[in-house]
Amino acid sequence: MAIWGDYHTHTRYSHGTGTVEQNVQEAIKKGLKEIAITDHGFRHVMFNVRRSVFDKVIKEVEEARKKYPQINIYLGLETNLVSRNGGIDLMESDLPMLDMVVCGYHKLVKSDFFADYWKIFIPNMFESITKTSSLRVKNRNTDMYLRAIERHDIDILSHPNNGINADVIEVGKACKYYGTYMELNGKGNYMTDKELETLIGMGVQFIADSDAHEPERIGEISKPLEIIERVGIPYEQIANWEKLPKFRSRIKKKLYE
């Protein structure tokens, strides 16, 4: 396989259909060296992994590690942007139990502030439905992304601009500066070719993930592949292309030699 790891996969704990073990088995079958289990963050309204069951997820990951030593299994979370000030649904005390952090914008989340529903979530939903955009909302969205990337050690920004209209070039600058990978998502792309070309020129690092919700889709990156070929993303700018990524949060924890 062209990619050596898939770092965005869901299980039945959050909108997925498989178990941790099934995701891991499929990753092995596809020849991956690494997989991350990244269920939806705690404050997604519909698909969140519940805090009360997270101990079970941890246990399943630990068991899978013992049973399948041939693959590196990361436990992560696909956290949600929850407030304009860059807040995400992860507490400082959650960090030790996680190996890495994915973060993305999702529309149905519990925000910290009532005002943020009116400033961010409702306008974004309105603009997605009506296919309109306003600079005021775009600036707020961009600001929210930038503050989140600055405030938290986000390893992967999942599906940038999905359901939200931000200035992805500014977001890309922050990702490059802080060492966050911009995801080429297996389910869809929300950046224009022109934006991608600019991001490539800036030296942004991407990562291709499946965002699999079914075990069979682990390692499925045909959509990212099509973009990589069409836009001409150099393989050295894809962090998991025939190599293993080095995650920002793990660099900080000094987990690499």
Residue 257: strand pairing partners: none
Is residue 78 close enough to count as binding Zn ion by CB under 5 A?
Answer: yes
Cβ proximity to Zn ion, 158 vs 237, nearer residue: 158
**What's the closest the beta carbon of residue 234 comes to Zn ion, in angstroms?**
26
Single residue of 16, 41, 104, 215 touching Zn ion by CB under 5 A:
104
Q: Which of 156, 160, 216 is nearest to 180 (CA)?
A: 156
CB-CB contact of 215 with 25 (8 Å): yes
CB-CB contact of 156 with 8 (8 Å): yes
Cβ proximity to Zn ion, 205 vs 210, nearer residue: 210
Q: Which of 49, 5, 18 is nearest to 155 (CA)?
A: 5
Cβ proximity to Zn ion, 47 vs 68, nearer residue: 47
User: Using only C-alpha atoms, what is the Rg of the chain?
Assistant: 17
**Alpha helix ranges (H) inside 30-113:** 54-67
d(CA 208, CA 163): 19
Is residue 6 close enough to count as binding Zn ion by CB under 5 A?
Answer: no
Cβ proximity to Zn ion, 15 vs 198, nearer residue: 15
Cβ proximity to Zn ion, 93 vs 222, nearer residue: 222
Is residue 16 close enough to count as binding Zn ion by CB under 5 A?
Answer: no
Cβ proximity to Zn ion, 89 vs 211, nearer residue: 211
d(CA 86, CA 78): 15
Q: Which of 194, 171, 198 is nearest to 183 (CA)?
A: 171
Count the site residues for Zn ion by CB under 5 A.
Answer: 4
Site string for Zn ion, 197-226 (x = CB under 5 A): --------------x---------------
Interacting span for Zn ion (CB under 5 A) from 77-85, 149-157, 197-205, 227-235: 77-85
Distance of CA 53 to the CA centre of its chain: 21
Interacting span for Zn ion (CB under 5 A) from 29-37, 138-146, 152-160, 171-179: 152-160
**What's the closest the beta carbon of residue 11 comes to Zn ion, in angstroms?**
11
How many other C-beta atoms can be found within 10 angstroms of the C-beta atom of residue 123? Answer: 21
Cβ proximity to Zn ion, 26 vs 211, nearer residue: 211
CA angle (135, 189, 132) in 5-degree steps: 30
**What's the closest the beta carbon of residue 14 comes to Zn ion, in angstroms?**
8
Q: Which of residues 106-145 bind Zn ion (CB under 5 A)?
A: none
**What's the closest the beta carbon of residue 76 comes to Zn ion, in angstroms?**
11
Tokens of 160: 């940038």
Site string for Zn ion, 153-192 (x = CB under 5 A): -----x----------------------------------
How many other C-beta atoms can be found within 10 angstroms of the C-beta atom of residue 90? Answer: 20
User: Residues interacting with Zn ion, by CB under 5 A?
Assistant: 78, 104, 158, 211
